[in-house]
Structure 1
Amino acid sequence: MKSVLHGGQSVTAFPVENAPDRPVLQLAEVMDTYHRSSPWYPQKTGQGQGQWVASLADVAAGFDLILLDSYGVLSRGDGPIPQAHGAMDHLRAIGKPFRIVSNDTTALGSRILPKYVSRGFNFKQGEVVTSLDAVHTFFSGRDDLDSWAMLGAVNSPLPEVTSAMEDLVATDGEVSARVKNILFLIGMEWHISLQKKLEASAQGRQFGVAMGNPDIAAPVHDRLMATPGYYAERFMRTTGQSAAPIVLGKPGNAVFAEALKGYEGIDPARILMVGDTLHTDILGGNAMGFKTLLVESGIFTGQDTAAWIQKTGIVPDFVSPTI
Structure 2
Amino acid sequence: MIRAVLLDLLGVVYDGDTPITGAVAAIERLRNAGLPLRFVSNTTRSPRGAIIAQLAAMGIKVAEEELLTPARAAVEWLRKHDRQPHLLVHPDLEIEFSGLECGSGRAVVVGDAGEAFDHASLNRAFRELVAGADFVALAINRTFKDADGLLSLDTGAFVAALEFASGRRPAVLGKPSPDFFLSALAGLNSPATDAVMVGDDAESDVAGALSAGLGAALLVRTGKYRPNDETRFDPAPTAVVDDLAAATDWIISRAAA
Partner of 1:244: 169
Residue by residue over 1:218-254, the C-alpha shift from the partner in whole angstroms, topping out at 9 and shown as x without a partner, is: 21241223332221122223x1x32321010000023
* Greater C-alpha Rg: 1
Deviation at 1:195, TM superposition (A): 5.4
1:7 matched residue in structure 2: none
Cα pair 2:70 2:174 within 8 Å, conserved: yes
1:122 maps to which of 54, 57, 61: 61
Name the structure 1 match of 2:47.
Answer: 107
Shift of 1:269: 1.6
Give the aligned residue type for 2:234.
G
Q: CA deviation at 1:135?
A: 0.8
Sort the Cα spacing of 1:189 and 1:286 in 2 relative to 1 into closer, same or farther, 3 A: same
What letter matches 2:211 in structure 1? A
Which amino acid is 1:253 matched to?
A: P
**1:66 maps onto 2:8 in alignment:** no
Letter matched to residue 157 of structure 1: I
If the length of structure 1 is used for normalisation, what is the TM-score? Answer: 0.65
Determine whether 1:138 maps to 2:66.
no
Q: Which runs of 5+ in 2 are unaligned?
A: 245-257
Whether the 8 Å CA contact 1:187–1:226 is kept in 2: the answer is no
Residue 40 (structure 2) pairs with residue 80 (structure 1): no
Where 2:224 maps in the other structure, the secondary structure is: coil
Match of 2:223 in 1: 298
Are 1:255 and 2:152 counterparts? no
Aligned to 1:157: 95
Q: Hey, what's the Cα distance between the residues in 2 that align with 1:127 and 1:196?
A: 33
Do the aligned partners of 2:206 and 2:217 also contact (CA within 8 Å) in 1? Answer: yes
Pick 1 or 2: higher relative contact order, CA cutoff 8 A, min separation 6.
1
Distance 1:200 1:266, change over 3 A: closer
Q: Give the whole-Å Cα distance in 1 for the aligned partners of 2:10 and 2:29.
A: 19
Indicate the structure with greater helix content: 2
Is the 1:134–1:254 contact (alpha carbons within 8 Å) kept by the matching residues of 2? no
Contact 1:85–1:121 (8 Å) recurs in 2:
yes
- Counterparts of 1:1-323 in structure 2, within 5 Å, are 62-105=1-44, 106-108=46-48, 112-145=51-84, 148-155=85-92, 156-160=94-98, 162-163=100-101, 181-194=107-120, 197-198=123-124, 208-221=134-147, 222-237=149-164, 239=165, 241-263=166-188, 265-290=189-214, 291-300=216-225, 303-305=226-228, 308-323=229-244
Decide whether the 8 Å contact of 1:150 with 1:162 is kept in 2: no
What value does the CA root-mean-square deviation take over the aligned residues?
2.8
Structure 1 residue matching 2:38: 3-state secondary structure:
strand
Please name the residue that 1:9 is paired with.
Answer: none
Write out per-residue CA displacement over residues 58-107 of structure 1, whole angstroms, 9 at most, x where no aligned residue: xxxx4100001111111122222112112112112222211101112332
Q: Distance in 1 between matches of 2:195 and 2:126?
A: 44
Secondary structure of the corresponding residue to residue 103 of structure 1: coil
| 1:189 Cα deviation after fit | 4.3
Q: Which amino acid aligns with 1:91?
A: L
Q: CA, structure 1 residues 115+164, in 2 after alignment: closer, same or farther (shift >3 Å)?
A: farther
Q: Which residue in 1 is equivalent to 2:255?
A: none
Distance 1:279 1:142, change over 3 A: same
d(CA) in 2 for partners of 1:200, 1:131: 21
> How many aligned positions are there?
239
Decide whether aligned partners of structure 1 residues 253 and 242 sit closer, same or farther in structure 2, where only a CA change above 3 A counts.
same
Q: Is 1:76–1:298's contact at 8 Å kept on the other side of the alignment?
A: yes
